[in-house]
Amino acid sequence: MTVILRALETAVPDTIMIQPQVRDVFAAQPDLTRLGQRLVGAAFDSSGIETRYTALEELTVERSFDNPVFFDQKTMRILTPSTKTRNELYAEEGTKLFVEAARKALDAAAGIGAADVTHVVTVSCTGFFAPGPDYKIVRALGLDPSVQRYHLGFMGCYAAFPALRAAKAFCDADPDAVVLVVSAELCSLHVRSSNNPDTIVGSSLFADGAAAAIISARDLPVEAPALTLDHFETVLTPVGEESMAWNIGDEGFEMVLGTYVPHIIDEHIIGALEPLLARDESLQGLDYAQIEHWAIHPGGRSILDKVEAKLGLTPEQLVPARDTLRDYGNMSSATVMFVLKHIMDQPATEGNNRICSMAFGPGLTVETALLTRIGARSTEDAPASTDAGATADGDVAVPSDLEPILTNAGA
């Protein structure tokens, strides 16, 4: 039985943050030391980010607001609202992103409707409320009230993988299950001015966004690009517990993103990949670059640089991650889903269509996944008869060039 991610959609707020403009605002804060100002310039300019999105309409230099709470455009001061104020806005704006992404994914899943959804898994580390986003999605989309609901909270940037792994487990246990996975993060709610290097790095990277996926093993034609969920693994590095953390403070959540994190990843990424790649005999002995697609969580430009160099990947293999970082920034758990969608949306190739994906988070935790890109090819790439479909015995039919790969792709 093959578990397939049949639709993957994303959503972002309306307000765009232009990286040089945001840099100048942070650099102009009166509480910064000269060293802090230099660190702001260095962090923002080397981030690899051009634009980010925020649910905070106030975070714009284009117009001013009466009674500002987060940013006073008249004085250009970044304000310090309480954690309660930030979380109340998370409940309001976060719900919008959760619902928008979920609705888009459901609309994009051919042959699946709201009545088919059996499980909802929501993911977020940037706020809390109850009844939570899982409940809000069920109500807004008119899902069956008996849908099983699960929320993964406060796990950080790698949390999309536990959600996808749970979805696969539900589908393995019940071939008729349809799982809606939704990740939404409002990281910008917690930005603040600081001379602390970790806080400055976080302010230069983090942004808001959401992604949602429909996952099922149902016997349905694969009429568009999709992903088989093949294997998942979790590894804790022996060092780094203090290098990446996410704590609750009086003035928002406090991100710890140490400058040593890229070095930890550089030292331990090979070992983190070993248990994942050992799950598939067809990958034994291959150079890493021979796995066609790499969906790396773009925690920052230096992390991507380390991954590319250590694994000997080509610049082209890091394009999905670097493009996501450039256009959206680091949206915590939702980000790797944006990278996977980038890969799904690429033109079909004659390569092996395997995807090795990984994300890093507090712990230091490394979550990895093996996936396979399947689905209809365009008429220029292959005749229609090679499109994936459904066989009489209920297994998914795939193009002939993918059959050797899927032989070893089961749970």
DSSP states along 204-271: HHB-EEEEEEEEE--S----S-EEEEEEEEEEE-SS-TTTEEEEEETTEEEEEE-TTHHHHHHHHHHH
The rounded percent of the chain whose pLDDT value lies above 70 is 90
Q: Residue 47 in 3-state DSSP?
A: coil
Residue 98 confidence class, pLDDT cut points 50, 70, 90: very high
Q: What type of residue sits at position 82? A: S
To the question of pTM greater than 0.75 for the whole model, the response is yes
Q: In terms of Cα–Cα distance, which of 105, 151, 161, 97 is closest to 296?
A: 161
State the average pLDDT over residues 335-349. Answer: 92
State the average pLDDT over residues 313-333. Answer: 98
Q: What's the token pair of residue 164?
A: 């996808």
Residue 407 confidence class, pLDDT cut points 50, 70, 90: very low
Q: What's the token pair of residue 198?
A: 């970790």
Residue 244 confidence class, pLDDT cut points 50, 70, 90: confident
More confident residue, 285 or 322: 322
Pick the catalytic residue: 157, 171, 187, 356? Answer: 157
Residue 383 has pLDDT above 50, yes or no: no
Torsion of CA 313, 11, 188, 207, to 10 degrees: 20
Q: Give the per-residue pLDDT at 376.
A: 55
Pairing mode, strands 148-153 and 252-257: unpaired
pLDDT tens sequence across 267-291: 999 999 999 999 999 999 899 999 9
- Classify residue 174 by burial, with Cβ atoms within 10 Å: 0-12, 13-18, 19+: middle
Q: Give the per-residue pLDDT at 171.
A: 98
Q: Give the per-residue pLDDT at 348.
A: 73
Q: Is 157 a catalytic residue?
A: yes
Residue 379 has pLDDT above 50, yes or no: no
Q: Give the per-residue pLDDT at 410.
A: 32
Q: Give the per-residue pLDDT at 263.
A: 86
Q: Give the per-residue pLDDT at 104.
A: 98
pLDDT tens sequence across 177-232: 999 999 999 999 998 999 999 899 999 999 999 999 999 999 999 888 999 999 99
Residue 57 has pLDDT above 80, yes or no: yes
Q: What mean pLDDT value characterizes the chain? A: 89
- Looking at the chain, how many residues does it have? 411
Residue 387 has pLDDT above 60, yes or no: no
**C-alpha neighbours within 13 Å on the C-beta side of residue 98:** 30
Q: Give the per-residue pLDDT at 351.
A: 67
Pick the CATH number of 226-407 from 3.30.1490.20, 1.10.8.100, 3.40.47.10, 3.30.70.660: 3.40.47.10
pLDDT tens sequence across 105-142: 999 999 999 999 999 999 999 999 999 999 999 999 99
